[in-house]
Structure 1
């Protein structure tokens, strides 16, 4: 999952929470109510950053956990 924007991700399918750790801020953002299909598409996207910007960033509510 090499990306210049995203360091790591995890997904809790039962809670539908997508967690993303960003390279620059090193903070974790938890995106709520993300459908499993979106996460699957995200995992398989050629550009994780582009997919995130187009399909996740301004679409789902989130919480920030500062490192």
Structure 2
């Protein structure tokens, strides 16, 4: 199901960095030390925005990527 809040995601299991691109800005944020299980659940969730807000946003260190 497409998300109205999240444009795209990418996960690197070697570094455990989750990259998230947001609608409508297109800005990318990298979230550090995200477990693979969390990313897998995120990808399977029916509401990406709700899952992100509840389980990722305030739980991991992040940085905005230019």
| TM band (smaller chain) | over 0.9
CA distance in 2, matches of 1:24, 1:61: 22
Give structure 1 stretches of 5+ with no counterpart: none
Q: Distance in 2 between matches of 1:16 and 1:64?
A: 16
**Counterpart of 1:49?**
49
Question: Quick one: distance in 2 between partners of 1:13 and 1:42?
Answer: 14
Query: Runs of at least 4 residues of structure 1 off by over 4 A?
Result: none
* Structure 2 gap segments, 5+ residues each: none
| TM superposition score normalised by structure 1 | 0.94
CA distance in 2, matches of 1:41, 1:35: 10
Q: Which structure 2 residues correspond to residues 1-67 of structure 1 after superposition, within 5 A?
A: 1-66=1-66
Cα RMSD after superposing both structures: 0.8
Cα distance, 1:28 vs structure 2: 0.3
Q: CA separation in 1, counterparts of 2:46 and 2:28?
A: 22
